[in-house]
Amino acid sequence: MSTPPDGLPVYRVLTGPDDAAFCHRVSEALGLGYELHEGPSVAFDGKNVVVAQALLWPTGS
């Protein structure tokens, strides 16, 4: 597939609390064919650890 499914963008950033739901969202994107772009970014908002993970759709180049 040369483009992401369901009209999703080529570049995505998923963010959220560092919990199982976030891990499932990243895993789902990987299952669709996205690839991780670099490592995650992690911050603490005073209450929760918040994670951001960039994903790219492979271009085949």
pTM passes above 0.85: yes
Does residue 39 form part of some domain? yes
CA distance linking residue 20 with residue 8, whole number of Å: 22
Mapping DSSP onto H, E and C, the string for 1-61 reads CCCCHHHCCCEEEEEEECCHHHHHHHHHHHHHCCEEEEEEEEEECCCCEEEEEEEECCCCC
- The answer to whether 43 touches 5, Cβ cutoff 8 Å, is no
The number of domains in the chain is 1
Does residue 1 form part of some domain? no
Q: What is the pLDDT of residues 10-58, one digit of tens each?
A: 999 999 999 999 999 999 999 999 999 999 999 999 999 999 999 999 9
Query: What is the structure's pLDDT at 27?
Result: 98
Query: What is the structure's pLDDT at 59?
Result: 84
Does residue 22 form part of some domain? yes
